[in-house]
Copies of this chain bind each other. A is one copy, B any other.
């Protein structure tokens, strides 16, 4: 990501900003708090990023980089030859993607931070939304649609297939978005590997019910 090593205050600022923007939102996060957490000077923010908004955009780019690094390969393997897959192969690919998606967005601590920024951008899109949509959401929606199209034998660009993709993503993403409600309802205090297994099992089961069987692990 960063090439120069003299400017690692820059990277520390992005990490601190990811946490702080995620926790308090853009308006609620102060550059003073971000700089303090990064062990950097307040003036370093206008210096490196031009403005608080520039820092926010840098955070979005960082998130896109990390997500691409984590699940980009899994998608690439499936979508490069989506048209040539059999329905059962497509089912298997979907299950594999679901597992990786849950591990990343729900299981990984990083995912909690990413989800907060991404959800905030859904409600009030800024330039950061463009970055995130172009680099990760859009391509992955398309890849998932290609797989569903094979399974349901419908056009990948049909509204029905596109909407199914969102519904399927929603049943997994809720476990990150509704964290506080889930903790209270389940008596949990965040995810453990065992709890994540329970979530994964339920999501897989619902996914299998929708796309049909023939998709055992």
**A residues apposed to B, CB below 8 Å:** 22-29, 116, 119-125, 129, 133, 137-138, 141, 159-160, 162-164, 166-175, 177-182, 184-186, 198-199, 201-203, 205-206, 209-210
Asked whether A180 lies within 8 Å of B27 as measured between CB atoms, the reply is no
B123 adjacent to A163 (CB under 8 Å):
no
Instruction: Note all chain B residues with C-beta closer than 8 A to A141.
Output: 181, 185
CB–CB A180/B121 < 8 A: yes
Q: Please determine whether B180 and A174 come into contact, CB atoms closer than 8 angstroms.
A: no
Min Cβ gap A4→B in Å is 32
Once the chains are docked, how many angstroms separate the CA of A116 from the CA of B123? 7
Q: How many copies does the complex hold?
A: 2
Of B23, B122, B129, B185, the contact of A177 (CB 8 Å cutoff): B122
Of B168, B175, B198, the contact of A160 (CB 8 Å cutoff): B198
Of the A-B pairs whose beta carbons lie under 8 Å apart in the complex, a sample of 27, sorted by A's number, is A24-B27, A27-B28, A116-B123, A119-B177, A122-B179, A125-B180, A133-B184, A137-B181, A138-B185, A141-B185, A159-B198, A162-B185, A163-B199, A163-B202, A164-B202, A164-B206, A166-B174, A166-B175, A166-B181, A166-B185, A167-B171, A170-B171, A170-B174, A170-B178, A173-B178, A209-B209, A210-B210
> Contact: B163 with A167, CB < 8 Å?
no
What residues on B are CB-neighbors of A178 within 8 Å?
122, 166, 169-170, 173
6 A-B pairs besides A138-B185, A160-B201 with CB distance below 8 A are A24-B27, A25-B28, A27-B27, A122-B178, A160-B198, A209-B209
